[in-house]
Each structure stands twice: as C-alpha cells, then as structure tokens.
Amino acid sequence: MPVNRKLLDILCCPVSKTPLQPLDKTRLDKLNAGITAGEVQFIDGALVENPIAEALITVDNKVIYTVEDSIPVMLEDKGIGTTQLNNF
C-alpha cells in the first residue's frame, strides 16, 4: 500500500530537509537489480540484503529511503545513496 499522500507532503530527508517523492517503478527495478547483485549499501555501510517493494527518494535524486509496511524508514544511516547506482 502506498504511503499516505498527507504524510508524504510533510516528510523530508532527515539530513538535508529535502522533500521526498515516491520512487518510480523503473528506478525501483534498477535499485533491486543492484541489491540482487550485492552492490548496494545503506549510508551506514551495511549491505542492503533484501529487495525493496516501495521507496521514497529525495526530489534532488540523491537519497532513497525504504518503506516497510507503508511506513517510511526515515533513519539517517538507513538511507541509500544513489551515487553507488550506475545510470540511476
């Protein structure tokens, strides 16, 4: 189930305070391909081990935050930097 629109309107990156938007399917598929290949890490350096069903991305396209059970995981160290993803 997608993140509630009212919640999305008030959420922002905990570091940069940049607004967030849903990650589109094309980029979600690219992210999951990188995860499957073992090439994606959280900001804290831990490997992202499981495919992601839903995520939010900052409007400047720099950081991705996962959504688990319709709840955004807005922890600074659990963001995923997009610079590690090719052609993202």
Q: Is 35 left (phi over 0), alpha (psi -120 to 50) or beta?
A: alpha
Q: What is the pLDDT of residues 16-61, one digit of tens each?
A: 999 999 999 999 999 999 999 999 999 999 999 999 999 999 999 9
Q: Are 55 and 23 in contact (CB under 8 A)?
A: yes
Residue 37, number of CB atoms within 10 A of its CB: 8
- Give the type of residue at 44: D
Confidence of residue 70 (pLDDT cuts 50, 70, 90): confident
In this prediction, residue 1 carries a pLDDT of: 61
Give the global pTM: 0.92
